[in-house]
């Protein structure tokens, strides 16, 4: 259609509609840019306020729970999760768990450090208790008890606890600092 075929009133109406559409587009574009700018400012403010990642900063971190729990594994935790809460998350203690040792050697209300490993010990069976009542269990002994073994100091005792559970006594050789000579001194004094 040719522009000259429209009456003066139709031309003014068309120009008004085009003008209104133009204003609406400009306003919409302005609001869109303002919202983008606002979200960018909020994002920058959020990044400025974010502290470095640690177990107590509200950020997530990982803890490995092994031993006598229903679902042992690596768990991603947030905030100040306590050992008691982690045990609950892992399905609770198994019937064979040594609750006395748990209460004695582990702080149930303790919050974790990132990348920490926690072992829940099991009770020694009656057969192994009567058979080796004077032997120290490498799977359930406390750090202090392990330090009573010849050649085992505080660091090695911590490594023994960290590498639990052991399936056979010879697995103890996998612990850094325990070679054949040390193992041969310990084998008659230890049990699973």
Q: Which two tokens stand for residue 1?
A: 């259609």
**Residues 111 and 81: beta-carbon distance below 8 Å:** yes
* Per-residue model confidence as pLDDT tens digits over 90-142: 898 888 888 888 888 777 877 777 778 888 888 875 444 444 457 888 888 88
Question: What is the pLDDT at residue 14?
Answer: 83
* Per-residue model confidence as pLDDT tens digits over 133-170: 578 888 888 888 888 888 888 898 888 898 888 888 88
Return the exposure string of 120-138: e unless at least 16 CB atoms fall within 10 Å of the residue's CB, then b.
Answer: bbbbbeeeeeeebeebbbb
Q: Which residues pair with 119 in a beta bridge?
A: 66
Mean pLDDT, residues 2-9 taken together? 73
User: Residue 182 pLDDT more than 50?
Assistant: yes
> Could you give the CA distance from residue 68 to residue 30 in angstroms, rounded to a whole number?
61
Residue 84 binned pLDDT confidence (cut-offs 50, 70, 90): confident
**Residues 165 and 67: beta-carbon distance below 8 Å:** yes
Side-chain-side CA neighbours of 167 within 13 Å: the count stands at 1
Question: What is the pLDDT at residue 126?
Answer: 45
> Could you give the CA distance from residue 138 to residue 140 in angstroms, rounded to a whole number?
6
Residues in the chain: 192
Number of H helices, E strands in the chain: 7, 5
* Per-residue model confidence as pLDDT tens digits over 12-68: 888 889 889 888 877 777 666 656 555 544 444 444 433 333 344 567 888 888 888
Question: What is the pLDDT at residue 69?
Answer: 84
Question: What is the pLDDT at residue 35?
Answer: 61
Question: What is the pLDDT at residue 127?
Answer: 44
Question: What is the pLDDT at residue 53?
Answer: 35
Question: What is the pLDDT at residue 125?
Answer: 53
Q: Of 148, 132, 146, give the one whose Cα is nearest residue 191.
A: 132
Residue 171 binned pLDDT confidence (cut-offs 50, 70, 90): confident
Question: What is the pLDDT at residue 46?
Answer: 44
């Amino acid at each position: 259609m040719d522009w000259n075929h429209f009456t003066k009133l139709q031309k003014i109406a068309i120009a008004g509609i085009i003008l209104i559409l133009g204003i609406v587009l400009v306003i919409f574009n302005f609001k869109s840019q303002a919202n983008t700018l606002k979200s960018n400012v909020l994002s920058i403010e959020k990044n400025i306020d974010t502290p470095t990642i640690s177990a107590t900063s509200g950020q997530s971190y990982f803890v490995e729970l092994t031993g006598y729990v229903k679902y042992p594994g690596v768990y991603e935790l947030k905030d100040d999760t306590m050992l008691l809460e982690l045990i609950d998350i892992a399905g609770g203690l198994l019937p064979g768990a040594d609750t006395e040792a748990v209460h004695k050697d582990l702080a149930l209300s303790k919050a974790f450090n990132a990348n920490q490993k926690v072992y829940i010990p099991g009770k020694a069976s009656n057969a192994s208790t009567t058979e080796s009542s004077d032997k120290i269990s490498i799977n359930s002994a406390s750090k202090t008890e392990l330090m009573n073994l010849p050649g085992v100091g505080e660091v090695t005792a911590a490594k023994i606890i960290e590498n639990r559970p052991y399936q056979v006594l010879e697995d103890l050789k996998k612990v850094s600092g325990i070679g054949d000579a040390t193992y041969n001194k310990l084998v008659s004094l230890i049990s699973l």
